[in-house]
Structure formats: structure tokens, C-alpha cells
Structure 1
Amino acid sequence: MKKIILFITLVSTWTAISQNIKLETITTDTINVVADDFIDYDQFEFYYYIKDNVLHKTNDTESLEYKNASLGKIAKVDIRNPLKIVLFYENFNTVILLDNQLNETHKVNFSENTSPIAVSAIGIAAQNRLWIYNSLNQQIGLFDYIKNDYKTISTPFPESIKYYQTDFNTFYWIDNKNNWYSCDAFGKIKTKGKTPDFDAIEIINDSQFIYSKNNTLFFEDLEKKQKHEIDISEKTFKKFCYKDQILSIFTSKGIINYKIITP
């Protein structure tokens, strides 16, 4: 019995110690850019940002831009597929799809759809489809922009969305009570757990995420029950992005990229 108690005590102590260890970062480069919002990098090392409601795509040798003043403010940019970039203009309930040269390839006005759709969340999905959260019925759907076909796949949400994120096969969201869920392309919903309160958050995978609170960054793994503060030099920042062990911090002066190894 004493051995069991000692083991539990050691495990609890080790867990507490490990959670107090900061994750170290190494600065890789800094990009001086004046922007209103930083979107992210794509896999071809282009970075995207918004300045004066214009989308910019740039690297060391090339710079492109797209603007469409007639549709108002850009509410969302999805660059998961750099060959099919999604721009969402929420005030006009409209999506624009761009190719890798930022040429317009598709325009969808959801207000003109045969089934009423009021989009409040959107992202690129597989097979020429878009993830849609329809605020009219509070359900997730998939919209085929080639066939102009919309299909509702989920049950109505009991709570409003605080944050959402998509990949080709999954729609993730966190509700206003910090409950974290996922929905696959067949409409199957899973409860992932509960997140801490956050100012901003980015989901890494089914159990891990990075979040900020009061200008401090944390990495958390719900499955392993680990939480670590991330050591960065910036005391204030506008946004952060994480991809392939690179943490990008967006400040008023530009973008600082860090190499980080998550547990």
C-alpha cells in the first residue's frame, strides 16, 4: 500500500514539474511587414497578409495581391490549399475562390442559393466542397461549388461558436462554454474535451492546441494532460500561427518565426 501511495505521489509530482517547464523556442527569421492581419505561410513558403482590405501573397522573389472592394471587408482567408484559396466576405454572404496566382476562379453568393444559407463559418473541404456553418439552422453543411449543391450534415448546435477551424476532412469548433468538438464529412460529431479560457487558439491535432491568454502563449495536450508555457520574447502580439514546428508571431513591426518542438 505504501508503494502504491509513493508511486502516485511521484507521478503527481513529476506531472506538476513537467507542466511548469517552459517550451523553448529558437528564432529562425524575422520579416518586416506592415499589415492589418497576418494569415499564415503555405507549403511553398509564401506568406499571406491583409493590408487595407487587400490580400497579399509574397516571398523573396514574387509578390501578388487581390482586392475586391465591392464585397466589403474580408472576414476569413483559408490557404490550406494554395491552389484554391478561399476568401469569405461575410457582410455579402459571398465566397471567392482564387488560384495560386490570385486569379478569381469561382464566386458563390449564398444568398442566391435555392436553399437559404447564411454563412458564419467556412473552410475548404475535400472533393471541391466547402465547409459551411449555416447560422439560419445552426448546422454544419457541405457545399459543392462545382455542382452548386448544398447538403446539411450535422444536428443543430446547442451553443454558439466561439472559435472554429477546418481541414479537408474535419470541422472543429469550440463553443461559448469552451467545449471542443469535431465533425467529419459524414456528420459524425465527437466531443474532444474542454479548453481553458483563451484570447486566441489554434488546434494542432485531435488532442493538442496552442492558445494565448493575456499575451502569454501555452501549449496543451488534453490526452497526455500536459500544459506548458511557451517561451517567446514578445510581450505583446497581435496574432500567432503554428505549422510544422514553426511558430509565427505577428506584431505591429512584422512577423517573427520560431522553431519549436512540441512534446
Structure 2
Amino acid sequence: MRFTFHILFLLSVSIFAQEPIEANLIKKTVFKADKIIAIDNFETIYFVNNNVFNKKTLDKTITYNNLQLGNLTSANAFNPLKINLFYKDFNTVIILDNRLAEIFKIDFNTLNPYKNASHISTGHDNTLWVFNQDLQKLELFDYKTQTTRAQTAPVQSAVLDLKSNYNYCWLLTEKFLYRYNYFGSLVKKIKNEGYTSLVESNENIILKKENTLFYLKENSDEPRLIETSNLLINQFFVTNQTLYIYNNEILQQLQLKIK
């Protein structure tokens, strides 16, 4: 019995004694937006203000607005040549090019079979990851051919967040974090320990729990704490090893020291 106790104790120490990741402040910028969507390697900022989607480069800002579709629910600029905007009230996605010109419109109401989408994210080629809340399934949808290339098994708890790159998709629910490949096959599943949102960077994940961030390396199941000095975290983004934290007034840029 004592041997078993010591083994369990050593395992618990190894799990909880992981060294936190330092986040050193690089700069602060006053910035006003309702929501920041993404910041790329060239410091181009994609954001929403007064329901208008904006792309701000070093020398200019361009915008896109669609009053007919109501409130903009979410946006994804992972592929800057095929930015997708999701208008949940109208069950519609707009695809924009890098000049914010409309190049494709997907009205899920007109499809057969009908899709009731709650979350959208970018896939590879001409695809979108779509969470179909009627089926409780994640689908990889080809919007040019209007066909479903892949479909997952149903999930059993409410969806909190959805992020993707060209290879994988991460679905955060109240109970679990799922990772799928582009065939719709489940690659990894870990218990959700109170996380409410996530971002992806080079197939590593940053998770938010209350006002704290955790780093989940691609091949690990144990998130590591990121030291953010009690900054107010309303939104967060990662570009390579640069962490951006936004509190609705100040955009803070920090360098992650990942060993």
C-alpha cells in the first residue's frame, strides 16, 4: 500500500511541477475594436468594429460590411486569401479575398440536406469545418461542390469553440477537447478541465480558463501554465511564439519563452 502511495505521489508531482512558460512584454498599443480576429506575421490586424470587418495594414485599412445578413458572429483569417465570415442568424458564410472582395457565398438554408451551423472554421482547399448542431456532428464541407467530404461521430456536450488549420481541427466542448484530421478521424481526445476557448499556432494549442492561459504542445496531453502577470484577458492570439492579449483598450504583445 505504501509503495502504491509513493508511486501516485511521484506521478502527481511530475504532472503539477511542470515549469510555467514565461511571457515577456514586448510592447503595448492603444487599440479600439469590438473584437480582434487575428494578427499575422506582418502585424496586419483583422478586427470587427460596429459589425464591420476590417483589415489594417501598416499603411491603410480596408473594410467589408453586409447589412443584409445582420450581426457578424465569427470570422476566420487563417487563410488571408479566403477569409470566412459567419452570420449565424442567417445561417450564411461569406468568403472574402485579401482585398475583402466577396468571392463566394454559402447559404446553408438552401442546401439539400439542410445544415444548421453553429460554428465555422477554415479547412484545406475549398472547404470549411462546419459544426451541424442538428446532428451534433462536425463536417468538412466543400463549398464549391456543395458536398460533405468528411463527418465525425456525434459529440455529447455543448460546443464552446472551434479552430483549425489545413491539417487538423480542434473542437472544444464542455466535456472534452477533440482533435480531428482532415479525414474526419479522431486523433486525440482529452478531458476539458474548465477551458472555455482556444487558439491554434503551428499545431500547438493555447487554452483559456477563467483569466489564465495554458500552452498545450502538439504531442502532449498536459497543458502548461503561461505566466501573464494577471493581465486582463478578453481576447488572445498567438503568431509563432508571439502572444497577443487584448483587454478591449490595450493590445499587449508578449514573447513566449517555450523550452
Query: TM-score range with shorter-chain normalisation?
Result: 0.7 to 0.9
Count, aligned residues: 256
Percent of counterpart pairs with the same letter?
27
Q: How does 1:55-74 map to 2 (within 5 A)?
A: 55-74=53-72
Change (3 A) 1:252 1:45: closer
Give 2:151's aligned residue: 153
| 1:168-224 per-position Cα deviation (integer Å, ceiling 9, x unaligned) | 2222112221x1212222221233322321243334566x53333332333345965
- Which amino acid in structure 2 is aligned with residue 94 of structure 1? T
Which has the higher Rg, Structure 1 or Structure 2? Answer: 1
Question: Paired residue for 2:256?
Answer: 260
Q: How far apart are residue 231 of structure 1 and its match? A: 2.4
Q: How does 1:24-173 map to 2 (within 5 A)?
A: 24-151=22-149, 153-173=151-171
Could you tell me how far 1:16 is from its partner in structure 2?
6.6
Given the alignment of the two structures, is residue 210 of structure 1 paired with residue 206 of structure 2, yes or no? yes
- Whether the 8 Å contact between 1:34 and 1:253 is mirrored in structure 2 is yes
Query: Which SS does the other structure have where 1:211 is aligned?
Result: strand
Q: State the Cα distance separating 1:106 from its structure 2 match.
A: 0.6
In the alignment, is the contact (CA less than 8 A) between 1:193 and 1:222 conserved in 2? no
Residue of 223, 237, 242 corresponding to 1:246:
242
Give the structure-1-normalised TM-score: 0.85
User: Measured at CA, do residues 222 and 141 of structure 1 come closer, stay the same or move farther in structure 2, by a change above 3 Å?
Assistant: closer
Tell me what 2:180 maps to.
183
After superposition, give the CA deviation of every residue in 1:208-248 in whole Å (9 maximum; x if it has no partner): 53333332333345965655432224532311112200100
- Could you say if the C-alpha distance between residues 11 and 75 of structure 1 is closer, same or farther in structure 2, counting changes exceeding 3 Å? same
Matches within 5 A, 1:187-198: 187-198=184-195
Q: Which runs of 5 or more residues in structure 1 are unaligned?
A: none
Q: Distance in 1 between matches of 2:214 and 2:230?
A: 14
Q: Deviation of residue 156 (structure 1)?
A: 2.2
| Contact 1:42–1:82 (Cα < 8 Å) also in 2 | no
Deviation track 1:93-118 (CA, whole Å, cap 9, x = no partner) reads 00000000111111111101121111
Structure 1 segments of 4 or more deviating over 6 A? Answer: 7-11
CA distance in 2, matches of 1:17, 1:186: 35
The AA in structure 2 aligned to 1:113 is: L
Letter in 1 for 2:14: T
